[in-house]
């Protein structure tokens, strides 16, 4: 097999077939500028939509003999093996490269799995022998190569032009390119950074010197004011947007507007579930903040990134969990922007201390009982430096609610100090983990017993504690966990319509994924474990099949299928837990089936 990169821009390509597999090929071709003709007697809806937007030419009928001539590339992805065979033969006769999905014998070329970071592309292939490892390798690379590589390769391209303008010898050019590569690529961590114009000039100068000290990868040290003139007129703007505490429905309208029209989004892990799944594919996504097994991006690099993106003239959204100014270092980020003269705004949102207790059945104020609420970071209480929380003052007020952020590790010390200062140990108290999401867990007890209960239930961050008499109202007001399907996190192709709404009212966290699947939807799906997937057609099974190795997707997820053809397809593609929902009222029957499942003993988590 001989690899090439084809320039398909403005060239005619043919896709015979109108299902999910065809859709994926079409997406790939369109993203590289091909002129795509699709022939299918019964195309799925996303294809009709692409046709009505003028993105493809859709011919709604069967494939006719010899039609494959006149194209530069031909794909067949139908479930009719005779049609596939005919397309293959026609293309072969006309001397055109042809690929029949899932049939290596009928392929004169294979498509590699690919990873795109701007102009940089990595392709993985196994000559059609083992597509399953290829998919998994691509996923692995996808996690190693984050979006900064797109910016980096763009910078590398400009640097090459700059070097070319300077009439250097071949050796000098190589020297300059080495400096660029060695200084911007961390070979161990496989990360890259964009250099400042000042650095580029110094590499150019060094390349003409006799001896040049070899620089190694260095962390970005961007002086925002120094690099500004290189980017010309400044149009950049940063919105510091609060994403709410987890439930995507709690993102504000303004927040959504800003996200949908952004050029780049820099998001925290805590805020990942708030990303709109329908975020346009052109929006650059930069994940920062803590993630299991990954080091968090240091705060200084986050601010440098915001400044750099804005200086490139981009509309940037900095998406943070909860509210940007409540224990989220939003103040520091805004200050850095102000210092770099970058215009910004703040889009507040509901902070965890308000929303999380509400989902745990706790009103944080209550007339004639609680007249004060204190939001406090408990983490500071185990730090020796910095200002200390006056727990003694808080302990003295019986008509107050204390809501503590970042308090899992420090809880024993906090409770000790409150009790020492005279708080009644029978004061009601609760700890809520991952509030407002399908993973919400609540421990409710008294303040005296809270540390022990939190340890027994292995509560982990993100979690917050609530202490005060208002916690007792949860007895009556615990509306969220009483919903029958709480804990289910189910993917369905958008629009979810009435079914999506009904599932959500029953407590399901519904992830509505557009086709073609967006990068944002992948991030949302991967943010928390999924429990199932609703399929209303075979095409939906095909269209989501590629996603199954991604984070969030678990082998024990259930495929809830509308009919037997759909269930059969899921079985063919290797789903082990397939449930066909029979009967005329799919929506109601699905909810009943889910309820039956939730009444059975749950798996250990
Ligand atoms: N700016 C955020 C807080 C960031 S600090 C806000 O306004 O909510 C991170 C802490 O917030 C976590 O350690 C946890 O204490 C709390 N938190 C955020 N989301 C939470 C959630 N869904 N459930 C419980 N606690 C949460």
Same domain, 440 and 471: yes
Instruction: Name the residue with the closest Cα to ligand 1, atom 4.
Output: 328
Q: What is the number of residues in the chain?
A: 605
Enumerate residues 6+ apart whose C-beta is below 8 A from 555.
Answer: 576
Same domain, 332 and 246: yes
Q: How far is the CA of 461 from the centre of ligand 1 (A)?
A: 8
pLDDT band at 290 (very low <50, low <70, confident <90, very high): low
Stretch (H or E) spanning 158: helix 148-164
Q: Work out which ligand 1 atom sits closest to the CA atom of 325.
A: 1
Distance of alpha carbon 269 from alpha carbon 353, whole angstroms: 18
pLDDT (tens digit per residue) in 485-531 = 999 999 999 999 999 999 999 999 999 999 989 999 999 999 999 99
pLDDT recorded at residue 222: 43
Q: Work out which ligand 1 atom sits closest to the CA atom of 270.
A: 19
pLDDT (tens digit per residue) in 402-432 = 999 999 999 999 999 999 999 999 999 999 9
Closest CA to 308 of 271, 266, 257, 270: 266
Radius of gyration of the chain (CA): 28
Q: What is the DSSP string of 230-275?
A: GG-S---EEEEEE-BSS-GGGS-HHHHHHHHT-SEEEEEGGGGGGS
Distance of alpha carbon 327 from alpha carbon 226, whole angstroms: 31
Q: How far is the CA of 501 from the centre of ligand 1 (A)?
A: 27
Residues with CB under 6 A from ligand 1: 245-246, 270, 320-323, 326-328, 351-352, 356, 405-406, 432, 434-436, 461-464
pLDDT (tens digit per residue) in 520-576 = 999 999 999 999 999 999 999 999 988 888 888 888 899 999 999 999 999 998 899
Q: How far is the CA of 433 from the centre of ligand 1 (A)?
A: 9
Q: How far is the CA of 190 from the centre of ligand 1 (A)?
A: 30
Same domain, 221 and 260: no
- Residue tagged 């703007």 (tokens): 237
* CATH at residue 271: 3.40.1010.10
Q: Is residue 372 part of a domain?
A: yes
Distance of alpha carbon 540 from alpha carbon 19, whole angstroms: 8
> Which residue among 241, 270, 376, 404 is best mutated to probe the pocket of ligand 1, counting the most ligand atoms within 8 A of its Cβ?
270
pLDDT (tens digit per residue) in 594-603 = 999 888 765 4
Same domain, 430 and 387: yes
User: Between the CA of residue 240 and those of 60, 274, 317, 334, 345, what are the distances in Å?
Assistant: 47, 14, 6, 8, 6
Q: Work out which ligand 1 atom sits closest to the CA atom of 246.
A: 22
pLDDT average, residue stretch 173-194: 88
Q: Cβ distance 353 to 430 under 8 Å?
A: no
Per DSSP, 421 falls in state: T
Q: Work out which ligand 1 atom sits closest to the CA atom of 353.
A: 8
Same domain, 312 and 362: no
Stretch (H or E) spanning 443: strand 441-446
Same domain, 516 and 546: yes
Same domain, 337 and 376: no
> Which residue among 462, 465, 481, 509 is best mutated to probe the pocket of ligand 1, counting the most ligand atoms within 8 A of its Cβ?
462
Distance of alpha carbon 192 from alpha carbon 215, whole angstroms: 15
Same domain, 271 and 300: yes
- Which residues are the active-site residues? 268, 290
pLDDT band at 234 (very low <50, low <70, confident <90, very high): very low
User: Between the CA of residue 444 and those of 45, 238, 435, 452, 468, what are the distances in Å?
Assistant: 48, 40, 14, 12, 12
Q: Quick one: tokens of 394?
A: 């808080």
User: Total structural domains in the chain?
Assistant: 5
pLDDT (tens digit per residue) in 330-381 = 999 999 999 999 999 999 999 999 999 999 999 999 999 999 999 999 887 6
Q: What is the span of the domain harbouring residue 554?
A: 489-598
Q: How far is the CA of 463 from the centre of ligand 1 (A)?
A: 7
Enumerate residues 6+ apart whose C-beta is below 8 A from 408.
Answer: 431, 454, 459, 460, 461, 463
Q: Cβ distance 179 to 212 under 8 Å?
A: yes
């Amino acid at each position: 097999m001989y690899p090439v990169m084809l320039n398909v821009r403005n060239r005619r390509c043919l896709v015979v077939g109108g299902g999910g597999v065809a859709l994926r090929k079409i997406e790939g071709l369109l993203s590289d500028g091909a002129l795509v003709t699709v022939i299918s007697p019964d195309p799925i809806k996303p294809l009709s939509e692409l046709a009505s937007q003028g993105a493809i030419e859709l011919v709604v009928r069967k494939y006719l003999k010899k039609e494959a001539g006149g194209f530069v590339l031909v794909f067949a992805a139908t479930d009719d093996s005779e049609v596939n065979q005919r397309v293959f033969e026609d293309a072969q006769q006309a001397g055109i490269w042809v690929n029949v999905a899932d049939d290596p014998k009928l392929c004169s070329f294979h498509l590699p799995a690919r990873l795109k970071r701007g102009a940089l592309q990595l392709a993985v292939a196994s000559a059609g022998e083992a597509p399953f490892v290829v998919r998994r390798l691509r996923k692995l690379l996808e996690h190693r190569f984050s979006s900064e590589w797109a910016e980096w390769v763009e910078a590398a391209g400009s640097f090459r032009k700059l070097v070319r303008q300077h009439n250097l010898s071949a050796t000098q050019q190589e020297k300059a390119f080495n400096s660029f590569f060695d200084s911007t690529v961390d070979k161990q961590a496989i990360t890259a950074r964009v250099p400042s114009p000042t650095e580029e000039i110094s590499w150019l100068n060094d390349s003409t010197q006799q001896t040049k000290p070899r620089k190694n990868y260095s962390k970005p040290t961007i002086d925002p004011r120094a690099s500004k003139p290189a980017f010309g007129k400044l149009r950049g703007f940063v919105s510091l947007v609060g994403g709410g505490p987890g439930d995507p429905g709690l993102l504000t309208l303004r927040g959504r507007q800003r996200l949908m029209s952004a050029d780049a989004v820099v998001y925290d892990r805590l805020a990942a579930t708030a990303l709109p799944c329908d975020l346009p594919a052109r929006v650059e996504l930069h994940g920062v903040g803590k993630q299991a097994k990954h080091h968090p991006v240091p705060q200084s690099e986050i601010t440098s990134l915001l400044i750099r993106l804005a200086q490139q003239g981009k509309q940037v959204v900095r998406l943070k969990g909860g509210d940007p100014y409540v224990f989220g270092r939003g103040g520091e980020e805004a200050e850095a922007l102000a210092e770099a003269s970058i215009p910004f705004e703040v889009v507040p949102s509901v902070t965890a201390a308000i929303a999380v207790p509400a989902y745990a059945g706790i009103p944080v104020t209550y007339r004639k009982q609680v007249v004060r609420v204190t939001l406090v970071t408990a983490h500071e209480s185990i730090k020796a430096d910095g200002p200390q929380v006056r727990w003694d003052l808080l302990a003295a007020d019986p008509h107050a609610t204390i809501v503590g952020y970042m308090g899992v590790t420090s809880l024993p010390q906090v409770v000790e100090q409150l009790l020492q200062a005279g708080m009644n140990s029978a004061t009601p108290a609760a700890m809520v983990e991952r509030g407002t999401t399908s993973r919400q867990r609540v421990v409710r007890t008294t303040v005296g017993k809270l540390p022990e209960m939190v340890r027994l239930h292995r509560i982990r961050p993100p979690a917050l504690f609530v202490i005060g008499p208002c916690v007792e109202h949860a007895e009556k007001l615990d509306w969220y966990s009483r919903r029958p399907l709480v804990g289910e996190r189910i993917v369905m192709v958008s629009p979810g319509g009435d079914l999506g709404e009904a599932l959500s009212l029953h407590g399901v966290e519904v992830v509505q994924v557009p086709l073609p699947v967006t990068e944002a939807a992948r991030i949302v799906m991967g943010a928390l474990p999924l429990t199932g997937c609703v399929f209303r057609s075979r095409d939906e099974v095909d269209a989501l099949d590629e996603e199954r190795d991604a984070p969030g997707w678990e082998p024990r997820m259930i495929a809830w299928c509308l009919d037997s053809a759909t269930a059969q397809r899921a079985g063919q593609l290797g789903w082990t837990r397939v449930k066909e929902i029979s009967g005329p009222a799919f929506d109601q029957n699905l909810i009943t089936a889910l309820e039956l499942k939730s009444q059975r003993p749950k798996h250990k988590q």
